[in-house]
Amino acid sequence: MGHGRGLIERPEPDIRALGQGPQRVRFMGQAVPGCVLIMPNSASIRSRTGATPETAFGVDDPDFFDHAPIGIFTSTPEGRFLSVNPVLARMYGYETPGELLESIRDIAAQAYVDPAEREEFKRVLEKYGQVFNYESRRLHRDGTIIWVSVNARGVRDETGGIALYQGFTTDITKIKLDHQKLWESENRNKALLNALPDLMFLLNREGVFLDYHAPGGGLLMEPDLFLGRYVMDVLEPDIGELTLRHIDQVAKDGACVSYGYEAEIEGETRYFESRLTACGLNFLAIVRDVTVLRRSREALGEQTRLLEKITDNMLEIVAITDLEGKVRFLSKSNRLLGYALDSQVGRNIMDLVHPEDKPWVMAAFEDFLAVKDGTRMVELRYQRADGSYIWLETVGSFIFDSQGNPREILFSSRDITEKKQLEIIRKEQQEQLIQASKMTALGTLVAGVAHEINNPNNLIMLNTPILERSWKDASPILDEYWRKNPDLKLAGIPFGEMCPHVLDLFAGISEGSRRIAKIITELKDFARQSPLNMADQVDINEVVGSALVLIRKTISGYTDDFNVILASRIPLIQGDHQKLEQVVVNLLVNACQSLVDKKQAVTLETFHAPDRQAVAVRITDQGEGIRPEDMSRIIDPFYSTRHKIGGTGLGLSISSAIVQDHGGALHFDSQPGQGTTVTVYLGKIVK
């Protein structure tokens, strides 16, 4: 008997004659357990066939129909159920046989999914008198579809025509669903198998080829050359032994094993990878030709090694990052920065950019990402492992994927620190030349200005005493005249008010003239680069006083809180008054320029430092302070943090040299944002 939708026809039906009396319960040659058939229409059966339901089925057991494990029915060719047992009723979703008989009045229309299947069923019964394993789709009471298999016969009446159909019905829905799943699984596996590029061979425990699968005709030899033959007779000895050894291993361990081998085929070395696994009592070998892959990998490896040699010996630093800037690859030339390569992978490349450069570098990076094309070059400072910074010229370009989308960024950087330092030196030298020219011009200007001011000032100094004596001589006469003429005025001021102050006015003119002369002398001395003269015995308080004459106006422009504390009975020192004055002026100007608010104070004090055998000048300001990285360079020639506001970087360098010539030293104490204290120690005390 076959299985599947449709009919199994027997050309020679074996229909037992009705009415032969009780016998062993058989139906179409098959033994059936006894059961009781519900026969609400038994009269119809008797009227159609002349037999009772029991004799019609040849049943003498009253429990036959009720307890049968399959559905049993009697129906008419016109399409009415005459009797059903409880199993068949439940098969269609009814509680009792009577409920089914009342509900289904037309079997073809109500019980079949396709009424044409009912007609085919009737055709075979009419022709052969019976059907075997007829499979069809039926309608369950809830509307779902069930599959059934029917074995039935036609019961004929006295005229020889078929009056009734009697048969057994089996619910095969689960079997059909299982078959459907199996069919789908087999087809899916077949499709997967055909999609695989691998060769497959089935071998037994002894190593004999039993079967094969070769998609696309990929066999290297005809099947009749290896099927049914021993591996040692087919393969090269070393490959055959390798295969047998792995069969033994899989048989012992049960685990899949993988191995590779090479073979000479038509004068060419080919490479294969094989996976061997148990397949029931046999073994399945899945073999893949990896020659092209192997050679591609070897070529790629050679290219990779060549690229590594190139990048490892480049002076440029090469880095590859993702689109967020996280490092994925670094060339060995990154050792220039002093970091271990592994420590930098995964780190953002922006982390080590100098804080002052980071804002504009980040802006350039974001613009580069937005454009997604071309390259971008920047010069920036980058931190080394020791904390110092080097200058890098960095070029960034995109690495694109196969769809043309940016995938990574390639950065190539070269060290331009020396170039930048040379640029700074050239700039400083240029500024030095400019400053030297300014100083030369200043000296010439000061000399000229001093001459031009001295001439009229000398007239003032000479003529003021003459005018003062003249006033004293004329004063009695004017006084007598004023008494007679009380309305007398001098320069619009009543004589009585003017007279007591005239001598004070002359004294002020004389004092102002002498002050002008002193300022001119100090300016000439300051501008004149005369050789150091250590012959003088110098009072440091007088040096401070003469310096203040020059820059008091400058100081008042920076602070409203300037204090001077001069020590009494301070020892004299051997030195150059003019040079020491220059030191005080430079230090006071620096202190003032560090202030950011006129409320901040500057204090100058002199004192004797017996422990150092020196006299000292201390200048303290509340300004911006000096950064730690600048502290070691503040007395270097031309080093200045105030180039933008006219600083030359020469003041502290010159001052330090002068102080050293006087056997002393400059000492700095500073905190950023808290101010600076500069102490000048001068050691050549006069004994």
pLDDT of 160 strictly over 80 = yes
Residues whose CB is less than 8 angstroms from the CB of residue 546 and which lie 6 or more positions away in sequence, other chains included: 518, 522, 577, 581
pLDDT for position 637 = 59
pLDDT in tens, 471-493: 888 889 888 888 888 888 888 88
Cβ atoms within 10 Å, residue 280 = 7
pLDDT > 70 in the chain, percent: 80
What is the average per-residue pLDDT within 559-570? 93
pLDDT of 602 strictly over 90 = yes
What is the average per-residue pLDDT within 428-452? 68
pLDDT in tens, 237-292: 898 899 999 999 999 998 899 998 888 877 888 888 889 999 889 999 888 888 88
SS3 state of residue 115:
helix
530 backbone φψ class: left, alpha, beta (φ>0; ψ -120 to 50): beta
pLDDT band at 23 (very low <50, low <70, confident <90, very high): very low
Residue 524 in contact with residue 446, Cβ under 8 Å?
A: yes
Q: What is the Cα–Cα distance from 81 to 75, expressed in whole angstroms?
A: 4
pLDDT for position 441 = 66
Q: What is the Cα–Cα distance from 554 to 562, expressed in whole angstroms?
A: 11
Which of 296, 277, 294 shows the shortest CA–CA distance to 286? 277
Better pLDDT: 520 or 321: 321
Which of 120, 122, 133 shows the shortest CA–CA distance to 170? 133
In 437-496, DSSP assigns E strands to 489-490, 493-494
What is the average per-residue pLDDT within 491-510? 86
Which of 53, 82, 87, 46 shows the shortest CA–CA distance to 69? 87
Residues whose CB is less than 8 angstroms from the CB of residue 328 and which lie 6 or more positions away in sequence, other chains included: 320, 321, 322, 345, 408
SS3 state of residue 259:
strand
Residues whose CB is less than 8 angstroms from the CB of residue 352 and which lie 6 or more positions away in sequence, other chains included: 337, 382, 383
User: Strand 601-609 relative to strand 561-565: parallel, antiparallel, unpaired?
Assistant: parallel
Cα 544 to Cα 248, 349, 535, 651: the distances in Å are 105, 54, 19, 17
SS3 state of residue 326:
strand
pLDDT band at 522 (very low <50, low <70, confident <90, very high): low
Q: Which residues pair with residue 271 across a beta bridge?
A: 262
Q: What is the Cα–Cα distance from 113 to 137, expressed in whole angstroms?
A: 6
Better pLDDT: 479 or 332: 479
Residue 400 in contact with residue 407, Cβ under 8 Å?
A: yes
pLDDT band at 1 (very low <50, low <70, confident <90, very high): very low
Find the largest Cα–Cα distance for the chain: 189
pLDDT for position 305 = 77
Domains belonging to the chain, first-starting first, are: 6-178 (3.30.450.20), 196-294 (3.30.450.20), 314-415 (3.30.450.20), 420-527 (no CATH), 536-682 (3.30.565.10)
Cβ atoms within 10 Å, residue 404 = 8
Residues whose CB is less than 8 angstroms from the CB of residue 526 and which lie 6 or more positions away in sequence, other chains included: 446, 550, 578, 581, 582, 585
Burial class, 543, CB count within 10 angstroms (exposed 0-12 / middle 13-18 / buried 19+)? buried
Give the least confident one: 345-349, 447-451, 484-488, 552-556: 447-451
Better pLDDT: 652 or 407: 407
pLDDT of 31 strictly over 60 = no
Residue located via tokens 């006071």: 588
Q: What is the Cα–Cα distance from 91 to 408, expressed in whole angstroms?
A: 66
Better pLDDT: 524 or 599: 599
What are the residue ranges of helices labelled H in 485-575? 495-498, 502-527, 540-558
Q: Which residues pair with residue 165 across a beta bridge?
A: 75, 154
Residue 499 in contact with residue 479, Cβ under 8 Å?
A: yes
pLDDT for position 185 = 84
Q: Residue 9 has what DSSP assignment?
A: -
pLDDT in tens, 63-110: 677 777 899 999 999 999 999 999 999 999 999 999 999 999 999 999
Cα 284 to Cα 26, 222, 616: the distances in Å are 49, 19, 99
Residue 93 in contact with residue 142, Cβ under 8 Å?
A: yes
What is the average per-residue pLDDT within 222-242? 87
Whether pTM > 0.75 for this model: the answer is no
SS3 state of residue 435:
helix
pLDDT for position 192 = 64
Give the least confident one: 56-60, 95-99, 132-136, 483-487: 56-60
Residue 383 in contact with residue 406, Cβ under 8 Å?
A: no
